[in-house]
Amino acid sequence: MLTSKRKAHLIIVTAFALGVIVGASGQFLLSHRTPPSSASTVTDVTNELTRVLKLDQLQRSQVAQILSECQQQNQNLKNQTRPQFQAIRENARNRIRAILSTEQQALYNQWIKDLDAKRENRASEQGKQANK
């Protein structure tokens, strides 16, 4: 028979373990989620709005034009702010490198290289989808 002190320890350890499991599962799900399947390109949104709102041909072309202009403005804004995000990212990377050993820095640099490649691939895929 377990003593009440032992039961308390068991409950605490079990709660901690469940917290770790739930947290890890949530992190996994967030990092491996698929992009939303909703309309994401100008053509997709135009088609969906045409279907939902029963747009005529003139309205459809005007909506497509508005969405194209908006998409271009969004891209311009991303291009303007990208250097600021890159500077913040590089600052953080340099600060992390400063606390790592030489061996750790080599591993970190490879990890960063892989991360940047994934980021480029994702940006390339998003660019291809946006141009449809």
- Kindly state whether residues 55 and 105 are assigned to the same domain: yes
Pair 64, 125 in one domain: yes
Question: Average pLDDT over the chain, rounded to whole?
Answer: 88
Using an 8 Å Cβ cutoff, are 49 and 55 in contact?
A: yes
Specify whether 12 is located in the same domain as 51. Answer: no
Q: Are 76 and 124 within one domain?
A: yes
Verify that 5 and 58 share a domain, yes or no: no
When divided into structural domains, the chain yields a total of 2
Is the domain of 53 the same as that of 109? yes
More confident residue, 3 or 60: 60
Mean pLDDT of 62-80: 94
**Claim to verify: residue 53 and residue 15 sit in the same structural domain:** no
Decide: pTM greater than 0.75: no
Same domain, 98 and 65: yes
Query: What SS3 string covers the chain?
Result: CCCHHHHHHHHHHHHHHHHHHHHHHHHHHHHCCCCCCCCCCHHHHHHHHHHHHCCCHHHHHHHHHHHHHHHHHHHHHHHHHHHHHHHHHHHHHHHHHHCCCHHHHHHHHHHHHHHHHHHHHHHHHHHHHHCC
pLDDT tens-digit map of 23-59: 888 888 877 765 555 557 999 999 999 999 999 999 9
116: which 2 tokens? Answer: 């940047």
| Token output for 130 | 């946006």
Domain that holds residue 55: 34-130
What is d(CA 62, CA 52) in angstroms, rounded to the nearest whole number?
Answer: 16
- For residues 13 and 65, state if they share a domain: no
Same-domain check for residues 64 and 98:
yes
Residue 96 scores a pLDDT above 90: yes
pLDDT the model gives residue 9:
86
Within this chain, do residues 68 and 81 fall inside the same structural domain, yes or no? yes
Residues 70 and 105 in one domain: yes
